[in-house]
Structure 1
Amino acid sequence: MYPYLEAGDEIDGLRVLSRIHAGGMALLYRVEGGGTDYPLILKVPRLGQGDGAVAVVSYEVERMMLAALSGPHVPRLAAVGDLERLPYLAMEFIDGPSLKELAEQAPLPPEKLAKPMAAVATAVHHLHQQKLAHLDLKPSNVMFRRNGQAVLIDLGLAHHAHFPDLLAEEFRKPIGSAPYMAPEQVVGVRCDPRSDIFAVGAMLYELATGRLPFGAPDSVRGLRRRLYEAPPPPRVVDPAVPPWLQEIILHCLEVDADRRYATAAQLAFDLLHPDQVVVGARGRLTTHDGWLTRLQRRVVAAGYEPAPCPQMGRRPLVSVVLVGVDTQVRGEQQIEALQQMVRRTAEDEDQVRIALATVIRPHPLLGSSYVEESGGKTHIRHLVELRHWARSIGIPEQRLTYHVLEDDDPAQALLDYARANRVDHILIGASTPGSGIERGLRPFLGSVASRIAQEAPCSVTIVRPEY
């Protein structure tokens, strides 16, 4: 299923020229065709044995984000692959250098890093204006057009204020690039655009000093150290860093998001106007924290509470309806009853957004006795089944989202999703003999529906077929 593409292969009118990158979650190919007036790449999620479901969820997130965004600071989306044949994103190829190439030359003098990093901050601000936080900014995810504009790529971990957060609900652990991850991300907060400002600060630190501010930790414990350990001031690492640049960098790297720049536009302005930067205590630091300061930071970190996420614009005045779909139910009357209720709900409220969700057992670790297919392929299979389920409803695709939640407790998974995404109404089918999600789980319907009705933070309709 889903073999790797080779040069000369064709898919949907696109001809593969070469594979240009093999990442942890996706493969990138240069392609030609497609009828666009700009060059294209094909991004295909990894779905081999041992590849987890996060690659599929990341693909779904990026598909939604690229379709919702506009402007020169993100790649243009040209086409989307069929999940049943080959999931892919055909998007604009940015034929310019990446920030990674600049980072490899670090440490850089201020006059060489200020302008490109101001372009990065400007791009971040434009995404924030469109209600999106990138949440995985790093040098390899920043490209530059020939005119100097920054383009932010790899939106698979992003969060949009107007879309459900698939990653937060399906993977309850820190997700991102460890050297650039903000403290609030470490504790699971994914709704704060100021996390991107922290990441820009980490990249500025790297460019100015040639070092990563917090190293490259490979454990949650290592990630949490940034809650209480400040990085060495840039001027301690390299005395050539001017106070105004250190002021900017440490302003971005504040643990408390409320103490960072309020917007990336303000950061861009300071980078382009160093003579107007007000240098305070941060910019004048020439020593690392002493033991007493570090101890005080540890005490404060023990009670760390992330700042509330700022509003990225008003939420649309639409209601969100969560539909619990058991993809293992085969009874036509049960299926049709729930589909009819979804259709009726959508007709009654023409602005309602329908979130179709199913719950599967988490993919086993290596060594488990139950291994039939990779986590990614299991995820894809259930996404396909959800899309098949939705075909007869007749609701426009832009009003539907599809979610495969991994949990041993189906009721809790749906309740958590409803709370996190401010669901207004839940539709779920009544009990049918033999219903269940994946082998080994207790019945999805019946007791699950009853528990949801009792504990849900919104109204619940349990749908029964007419016999």
Structure 2
Amino acid sequence: MPARGIDGFTVAETLHEGGMAMLYRVTRHADDPPMLMKVPRLREGEDPAAIVSFEMEQMIMPRLTGPHVPRFIAMGGFEAHPYIVMERIQGSPLSSRMREMPLPAEEVARVGAAIADALDDLHHQHVVHLDVKPANILFREGGEAVMVDYGLAHHEQLPDLMAEEFRLPYGTVPYMAPEQALGIRNDPRSDIFSLGAVLYQYATADLPFGEPQHLRGVKRRLWRDPVPPRRRRSSFPPWLQEVILRCLEVKPDRRYPTAAQLAFDLRHPEQVVLTERAAKMRRDSFFAVLRRRLRPGTAEPRAFATARQVRSAPIIAVAVDFGLMDAALEGALREQVVRLLGNRPGARVACLNVLKSALLTLDTTIDDQGRNRHVQRLVELQHWARPIGLEVGRVTFHVLEAADVGDAILDYARANRVDHLVLGARAGSLSRRLLGSVSGKVAAEAPCNVTVVRVSRGG
């Protein structure tokens, strides 16, 4: 639990313990609205994705406004106590209504339209939520849906740290869109698929694709359609089946193009155009499924989700090794980055550090002073980059965990279409000549331009 007092906020009881973060009730001034504080999990053995997703949430939440998001109040960096303070929504999450399932069709439509409104508002603010599920949907007293938890979200105008640092998809398996399972994170229609899964669940009391435990099971939804709702409930309205199955189409271009159009259909069932989806009583035949499996409708992504953004604003990646860094090399490395930025005004700088892990032994995530090693490296990177003076969004920080430093840097460069790599190198030594060096390996194998910065012994 964080200290009882942080930056003027008084921390009270724990409200929720999640897989990646903790929520606490906090107070500050007597006339403040109800507030909560979100704090990432940093204990021994915690998933590094918890730290990266928290960074994403800290970048995204201050940019969001309106009734469909919690009002952002304050945040603290990783240097001391990382946190986000936000408005505490008084309503219960949609997950609290699971005991009422299946809900009447009219109630499913009413709730679904409110959620679609919230998603449409998010999409207009350049955000794809990517974790639409009952626990992340709350309702205000006026009935407006509020989307919470932006740790897995993608912002069209911000770097996508989750996609850049992790190869496996993150999300909640029962609601994950097929393209998410393939690593595609920038399509708003992924949220429409997830909402379709929520509507299916609350209308039938069943999940459309079950709860697979492995990625292979998640990918089955690329070719295996769900049991039609009317098969589960004979009284199920054809118009609602049409809406839900359209949301759950494998190909994004066969779903609703916008959440606003989905909300309209949910509010005007008499105007829903019925197709063969509305009449389905059985899943697709074996041969139809086989054709989809042999010729999948959703292609494997060639790069991470924000490849289009990277092409328009190239990444300059700088690998910082604090083990070899002295004042001269530190300054020379920054000077080289500034020089490259001079003729690349739209570029972003990705600061990399590799936390070397052992091949055979279990590494500890805590240092000898009880601090999270990943967080400490993150803070050091931030301090190193501060003199460059780049605004938020133009500089990002990545602590990679790998047994081989050179391979980790190369993997990052390939996966994220890095335009230019900059790294420092030690002065020559016998061991480097015999065993090779990280800088030499990266320079030889990198898929982009590489600048190796070296400071001579004489300065």
Q: TM-score, normalised by structure 1?
A: 0.87
Cα deviations by residue, 1:215-251 (Å, 9 ceiling, x for unpaired): 1111122212222221110111112220111001000
After TM superposition, list the pairs within 5 Å mapping 1:454-465 onto structure 2: 455-457=446-448, 459-465=449-455
**Offset of residue 29 of structure 1:** 0.3
d(CA) in 2 for partners of 1:313 and 1:119?
31
What amino acid does structure 2 have at the position aligned with 1:43?
A: K
d(CA) in 2 for partners of 1:223 and 1:328?
41
**Structure 1 34/368 Cα, relative in aligned 2: closer, same or farther at 3 Å?**
farther
> 2:101 pairs with 101, 106, 120, which one?
106
d(CA) in 1 for partners of 2:414 and 2:437?
19
After TM superposition, list the pairs within 5 Å mapping 1:313-392 onto structure 2: 318-346=313-341, 351-361=346-356, 368-371=361-364, 373=366, 377-392=372-387
After TM superposition, list the pairs within 5 Å mapping 1:45-64 onto structure 2: 45-64=40-59
**Structure 1 455/82 Cα, relative in aligned 2: closer, same or farther at 3 Å?**
closer
Q: Which residue of 2 aligns with 1:184?
A: 179
After TM superposition, list the pairs within 5 Å mapping 1:423-434 onto structure 2: 423-432=418-427
What amino acid does structure 1 have at the position aligned with 2:271?
A: Q
SS of alignment partner, residue 399 of structure 2: strand
Q: Which residue of 2 aligns with 1:439?
A: none
Q: Which residue of 1 aligns with 2:440?
A: 447
d(CA) in 2 for partners of 1:276 and 1:216?
34
Cα deviations by residue, 1:96-123 (Å, 9 ceiling, x for unpaired): 1222123432111121121221121121
**Offset of residue 429 of structure 1:** 2.2
**Offset of residue 23 of structure 1:** 0.8
d(CA) in 1 for partners of 2:116 and 2:442?
47
Q: TM-score, normalised by structure 2?
A: 0.88
Cα deviations by residue, 1:291-347 (Å, 9 ceiling, x for unpaired): 44444444445x862589999998896554222222322322111101122334446
Check whether the contact 2:128–2:187 (CA below 8 A) recurs between aligned residues: yes
**Offset of residue 17 of structure 1:** 1.8
d(CA) in 1 for partners of 2:90 and 2:157?
31
Identity %: 45
Check whether the contact 2:405–2:438 (CA below 8 A) recurs between aligned residues: no
SS of alignment partner, residue 27 of structure 1: strand
Q: Which residue of 1 aligns with 2:24?
A: 29
Residue range with higher mean Cα deviation, 83-92 or 65-74: 65-74
**Structure 1 432/238 Cα, relative in aligned 2: closer, same or farther at 3 Å?**
farther
d(CA) in 1 for partners of 2:68 and 2:286?
43
d(CA) in 2 for partners of 1:401 and 1:363?
26
What amino acid does structure 2 have at the position aligned with 1:371?
A: T
**Quick check: 1:90 aligned with 2:85?**
yes
What are structure 1's unaligned runs of at least 5 residues? Answer: 437-441
d(CA) in 1 for partners of 2:298 and 2:287?
18
d(CA) in 2 for partners of 1:94 and 1:319?
39
**Quick check: 1:208 aligned with 2:208?**
no
Check whether the contact 1:169–1:416 (CA below 8 A) recurs between aligned residues: no
**Quick check: 1:128 aligned with 2:123?**
yes
**Offset of residue 198 of structure 1:** 0.8
**Structure 1 307/24 Cα, relative in aligned 2: closer, same or farther at 3 Å?**
closer
d(CA) in 1 for partners of 2:307 and 2:327?
43
Q: Which residue of 1 aligns with 2:229?
A: 234
Q: Which residue of 2 aligns with 1:282?
A: 277
Check whether the contact 1:329–1:335 (CA below 8 A) recurs between aligned residues: no
> 2:35 pairs with 18, 35, 40, which one?
40
**Structure 1 50/310 Cα, relative in aligned 2: closer, same or farther at 3 Å?**
closer
What amino acid does structure 1 have at the position aligned with 2:13?
A: S
What are structure 2's unaligned runs of at least 5 residues? Answer: none
Check whether the contact 2:413–2:446 (CA below 8 A) recurs between aligned residues: no
What amino acid does structure 1 have at the position aligned with 2:452?
A: I
Check whether the contact 2:228–2:281 (CA below 8 A) recurs between aligned residues: yes
**Structure 1 389/34 Cα, relative in aligned 2: closer, same or farther at 3 Å?**
farther
**Structure 1 362/152 Cα, relative in aligned 2: closer, same or farther at 3 Å?**
farther
Check whether the contact 2:352–2:400 (CA below 8 A) recurs between aligned residues: yes
Check whether the contact 2:410–2:442 (CA below 8 A) recurs between aligned residues: no
**Structure 1 406/376 Cα, relative in aligned 2: closer, same or farther at 3 Å?**
farther
Q: Which residue of 2 aligns with 1:271?
A: 266
Check whether the contact 2:130–2:185 (CA below 8 A) recurs between aligned residues: yes
Check whether the contact 2:73–2:86 (CA below 8 A) recurs between aligned residues: yes
**Quick check: 1:305 aligned with 2:295?**
no
What amino acid does structure 2 have at the position aligned with 1:184?
A: E
Give me the CA root mean square deviation.
Answer: 3.1
After TM superposition, list the pairs within 5 Å mapping 1:129-278 onto structure 2: 129-278=124-273
d(CA) in 2 for partners of 1:444 and 1:192?
40
**Structure 1 443/408 Cα, relative in aligned 2: closer, same or farther at 3 Å?**
farther
d(CA) in 1 for partners of 2:308 and 2:263?
21
d(CA) in 1 for partners of 2:80 and 2:399?
19
**Structure 1 299/399 Cα, relative in aligned 2: closer, same or farther at 3 Å?**
closer
**Structure 1 88/443 Cα, relative in aligned 2: closer, same or farther at 3 Å?**
farther
SS of alignment partner, residue 316 of structure 2: strand
**Offset of residue 165 of structure 1:** 2.1
SS of alignment partner, residue 86 of structure 1: coil
SS of alignment partner, residue 404 of structure 1: strand
**Structure 1 275/313 Cα, relative in aligned 2: closer, same or farther at 3 Å?**
farther
SS of alignment partner, residue 371 of structure 1: coil
What amino acid does structure 1 have at the position aligned with 2:38?
A: K
